Structure 1
Amino acid sequence: MSTRPVPDPLLDSARGLWEQLAAVPVSFPSGEGVRVVTSPESRFCPAGWVGVVVLGGSALVTAPGRQAAAIVRDAFAELAATAVANAEAVREVLPVARVLGPAALAYVSAAGFRPVADSVRSAEQRPGDHAELRNLEKLAGREDTEEAGLDEITSPAFVVRADGQVVAAAGYRTWPRRTAHIGVLTAPAWRRRGLARVVGSAATAHALAAGLLPQWRARVPASRQVALALGFRELGTQLSIQLG
């Protein structure tokens, strides 16, 4: 006698988000399947690329055209669902010019959230377009700044100062399906001091209070550890592929 899967509202919400971002009518396959669809307008990845999202052990893949979709579908038939977001495994079966990621996708509910408490430093709320964020971005450098995306946040910014200067900040951009895509940035000289956890906690609390689903997308282990410390659950992985 088979048993039904235990409902997971957090996973269902995450899948609903990415199904909408696929920009065509589609759903994640059941079990551990891989579904490849043609979607030139997909928001999984840059225009013209192949986008891969694995959530809960099944994969949804968007391709920019029918020919690309056919190539990817045939190639991914050789891979397990969890492997299609593994850059090394993908390179074995596809002609790859560039990849972005993989990035872990993590989410948190109000019940699972573990806010920072009794911190020596507390986060200050500032407007999301405040000039001090641009100064922090200069300190952090282009790559980390683009990853954080603080120039695109629609929320207030939550910042920590040292000697009067903003050295860490977080905020979120509102995505479809009432999702809060969180970005965190810390000046290089102030990393590994718990500041990302402080500002990330403040941004997450603000999103939850607004009835939003916080999403934390991270490629580097340090950022993933911050999310896990705040109670986020890693539910899957995202990868973008430019075919060669």
Structure 2
Amino acid sequence: MHPSSLDHARRMWAGLARVPIVFPPRGGVSVVASPESWLCPPGWAGIVVLGGATIATVPDSRSVEFVRDALLAQSGQATIDLDRLRATSRISDVLGPATLAYLDAGDFTAVHSTADVEKLPAAHRDLRSFLASAGDADRDESGLEEIMSAAFVVRDGQDVIAAAGYRSWPDSVAHLSVLTAAGHRGRGLARLAASAAIAEALEDGMLPQWRARPEPSRRVARALGFRELGTQVSIRLTT
């Protein structure tokens, strides 16, 4: 991974904090109060680790010291130890962790049989029908309902069975969304659809981002050339 890509990703996440913050040197932790942070749900604390450095936002200044101390105990790690976090009395709920992976253009392992991929408007009825048929958990995890790009789909007959696209995040980051119908997984369709979406994002000069929790999704990302650089987690603090 080119250092500029890590810097690019860090700059984007720091901007989502909605208050001034920068990633410290590797092993360091920076925590700020930001009630309007986009790193986490409203009222929660958001934590992002990239390249071994950590930033976090908390909903009020009273929580800064607590979260900083909890994270310093884990400084330098690539991921957050959730068991240690949950063991603290002030944490009532946790979302994540989600792995954050990024792709340099030179590392892209494209799928070349993209003749089977069709490009549709994000609002196309066939994509909407595909999403409606998916379970709530899979649909929400994929994020496909929120894409801003076109949808890149694979069909079985007339039915869409896999789709990918991306949202445009700040600083020209392309946040990938991918979903394959439950009965068609394990055939490389997610990689096929995602490859087409990634190629368009790279052509537009964007940095592809893959955020995932399930291991199968992470395997698809690695097969396409993504490198895991860190993790994101949100915690809800008791008052």
Aligned partners of 1:171, 1:156: CA distance in 2, in Å?
Answer: 6
Q: Contact between 1:50 and 1:64, CA under 8 Å: does it hold in 2?
A: yes
1:152 corresponds, among 132, 146, 170, to 146
Letter in 1 for 2:4: P
Match of 1:76 in 2: 71
Identity of aligned residues (%): 50
Letter in 1 for 2:134: A
Q: Aligned in 2, Cα 1:96/1:196: closer, same or farther, shift over 3 Å?
A: same
Does residue 1:163 correspond to 2:145, yes or no?
Answer: no
Letter in 1 for 2:59: P
Match of 1:45 in 2: 40
2:100 corresponds, among 105, 119, 139, to 105
Aligned-partner SS, 2:6 = helix
Compute the TM-score of the two structures, normalised by the length of structure 1. 0.92
Measured after TM superposition, the shift of residue 20 of structure 1 is 0.7
Aligned partners of 1:141, 1:124: CA distance in 2, in Å?
Answer: 23
Q: 1:148-173, CA deviations, whole angstroms, 9 ceiling, x for partnerless residues?
A: 11111110000000121001000001
Match of 2:166 in 1: 172
Letter in 1 for 2:24: P
Aligned-partner SS, 1:177 = helix
Q: Contact between 1:139 and 1:188, CA under 8 Å: does it hold in 2?
A: no
Compute the TM-score of the two structures, normalised by the length of structure 2. 0.94
Aligned partners of 1:166, 1:154: CA distance in 2, in Å?
Answer: 19
Q: Contact between 2:86 and 2:92, CA under 8 Å: does it hold in 1?
A: no
When the two chains are superposed, the root-mean-square deviation of aligned CA atoms in Å is: 1.7
Give structure 2 stretches of 5+ with no counterpart: none
Give structure 1 stretches of 5+ with no counterpart: 1-5
Letter in 1 for 2:226: F
Moved over 6 A (4+): none
Measured after TM superposition, the shift of residue 83 of structure 1 is 6.9
Does residue 1:115 correspond to 2:110, yes or no?
Answer: yes
Q: Contact between 1:107 and 1:213, CA under 8 Å: does it hold in 2?
A: yes
Q: Contact between 1:123 and 1:158, CA under 8 Å: does it hold in 2?
A: yes
Aligned partners of 1:11, 1:39: CA distance in 2, in Å?
Answer: 23
Aligned partners of 1:118, 1:156: CA distance in 2, in Å?
Answer: 19
Match of 2:188 in 1: 194
Deviates more, 1:130-139 or 1:58-67: 130-139
Match of 1:3 in 2: none
Q: Contact between 2:50 and 2:78, CA under 8 Å: does it hold in 1?
A: no
Q: 1:75-110, CA deviations, whole angstroms, 9 ceiling, x for partnerless residues?
A: 333333427723222112353222111011011111
